[in-house]
Amino acid sequence: MWANSGLDLHVDVDATRKTDSLERALREAIRTGLLPAGERMPPSRSLAIDLGISRNSVAEVYGRLTSEGWLEARVGAGTWVRPVPAPSAAGASAVSAHVASPQSDVRFDLRAGIPDATAFPVVAWTAASRRALAATPSSGFGYGDPAGAAPLREALAAYVSRARGVWASPDVVQIGHGFGHLLSLIGGALVDRGARTIGVEEYGHALHREILRSTGLEIVPIPVDEEGADPSALHSVDAVLLTPAHQFPTGAVLSPARRTAFAEWARRTDSVIIEDDYDGEFRYDRRAVGALQALAPEHVVYAGTASKALTPSLGLAWCVLPPSLVQGVSSRARLSGAATDVLSQLTLAEFLRRGDYDRAVRSSRARYRARRERLDDLIAERLTGARLGDARAGLQCVLELPPGASEQAVTHAAASRSLAFEGLGAYRFGDSARRPPTMVIGFGAPPPHLFEDAAAAAVMAVRDA
């Protein structure tokens, strides 16, 4: 409890997770209006004394919430609650291009790969946009380079080299509207140079498979187990699409031996690997494994996106191309006629250069790690016979169901609770049936004030099935 300018507010702080629990409590208080816009926050020292925690913990929470746009730090005047507009219907449901919007009667969304749309760092992004616009000469506002704005390609080459261990230079970076757009360009370029077949993991995005088919490629399934995709199943394919850091949606991390095997296969056969590093920055139990691209940069297309760390609505993705594909992909980009938003590119370049992107990744990583840990606790406490997947990473994990339960029954029970909740079978390509009944829990999408209820609804759906 603290009293501040006549306002009494009760805050529960978990003794074992003081910083994270205080952050959640303050964010929820601002969201619900308990801390109204324009309210002056108590000094970090005073709040630390009131709550019995360290001043550094309070300062860290204030910093996080300021970077996310909940609070505003005024030089010499303290920290204040910012006005936070309610998310629009479009913003609240903004998802990646490969994810369809849930039905209107769905209250809880636990589908895989969707980030929390309320976490976008509005203040930091707005500031970066102002700086970028002020620094851009008038010549920078004309028709953009089909490969992407030069400042963004330079900033991304530096970032992926530093953060993901990618071998990159600006001249081999291609900017796209999203991963689906880049996948279409890459698939088309592969066909132009003679490719006819591409291997895809037997569990993955149906839309990605459709996009590759639309370029003229034949799709061949590759088995996936606890070590990730199996390179021994590569027979007569010209390319392969992989999610090695955190297989979508099973969560398997490609083992070191298989990473080496895929790289050797690409070099030996002069083939191409498309590495979809959609959430490689989000590893919670150890340092994230580096990109596969570093093992064979002449044969691996490395692809990343701002969708998970920032927002899908930004519509920006990037890939680092082998030199042999640069011209083909650039030509496809030009002929597509789809010019990418230059102003957003310049803002993202500024966001990267100033370290705002790193801060957004750290903030998101902490948020999603806490959610994954909470899921661990809930499943252990309430679901006998069920088991969560081992990999602690990304925005989703798999839940192996108790004996006798089926994916279809759980999905139906979830729908009766206004919950979008899918089984692993919804992502399967081919006739594989080696896995026991398993649900995919996407823990990223629910806004903070609904996450606990969404997780509880998933537990009850499994119990009801």
pLDDT for 28 equals 77
Same domain for 155 and 304? yes
CATH number, domain at 128? Answer: 3.40.640.10
Residue 433's pLDDT band, with cuts at 50, 70 and 90, is low
Q: What value does the mean pLDDT take over residues 150-175? A: 94
In a domain? residue 93: no
330 and 320 in a common domain: yes
Mean pLDDT of 428-445: 84
User: What average pLDDT is seen over the chain?
Assistant: 86
The CB-side HSE value for 26 (13 A sphere, CA atoms) comes to 31
Looking at the structure, do residues 181 and 149 belong to the same domain, yes or no?
A: yes
pLDDT in tens, 320-347: 999 999 999 999 998 887 666 888 999 9
pLDDT of 373 strictly over 60: yes
Maximal C-alpha separation, the chain: 73
Q: What is the pLDDT, as a whole number, of residue 161? A: 93
Instruction: Out of 297, 326, 355, pick the residue that ends a domain.
Output: 355
Domains held by the chain: number: 3
Residues 259, 323, single domain; the answer is: yes
| Residue 62: pLDDT band with limits 50, 70, 90 | confident
On whether both 318 and 346 belong to a single domain, the answer is yes
Task: Specify the pLDDT at position 283.
Answer: 84
| Residue 305 counted as domain residue | yes
pLDDT of residue 85: 47
Judge if 113 and 150 occupy the same domain. Answer: no
Say if residues 219 and 191 touch (Cβ distance below 8 Å): no
Per-residue pLDDT reduced to its tens digit, 264-308: 999 999 999 999 998 888 888 777 778 899 999 999 999 999 999
**Statement to judge: residues 379 and 307 lie in one domain:** no
pLDDT-derived band of residue 408, with 50, 70 and 90 as boundaries? Answer: very high
Domain assignment of residue 315, yes or no: yes
pLDDT at residue 86 greater than cutoff 50: no
Q: At what angle do helices 448-464 and 18-32 cross, to 10 degrees?
A: 100
Nearest residue to 247 via CA among 230, 263, 224: 224
44 or 140, greater pLDDT: 44
Rounded to an integer, the average pLDDT of 229-238 is 90
- Model's pTM, two decimal places? 0.77
Q: Which amino acid is at 399?
A: L
The region of weakest confidence among 119-133, 216-230, 329-343, 350-364 is 329-343
| Average pLDDT of the segment spanning 209-214 | 94
Looking at the domain assignment, is residue 86 inside a domain? no
Distances (CA, A) of 246 to 28, 30, 391: 30, 34, 8
Q: What is the pLDDT of residue 249?
A: 93
Residues 337 and 442 in one domain: no
Q: Is there a single domain that holds both residue 213 and residue 265?
A: yes
pLDDT of residue 105 exceeding 80, the answer is no
Mean pLDDT in residue range 115-143: 87
- Whether residue 71 sits in one domain with residue 107: no
For residue 436, which phi and psi values (nearest 5 degrees)?
Answer: -70, 165
Domain with residue 11: its CATH number is 1.10.10.10
| Domain end point (choices 21, 53, 81) | 81
Task: Mark whether 169 and 232 lie in a shared domain.
Answer: yes
Query: Containing domain of residue 280, as a range?
Result: 124-355
Query: Residue 14: its pLDDT value, please?
Result: 72
One domain for residues 346 and 202: yes
Residue 367 lies in a domain: yes
Indicate if the pLDDT at residue 6 is higher than 70: no
CB burial readout 33-64, b (16+ within 10 A) else e: eebeeebebbbbeebbeebebeeebbbbbbbb
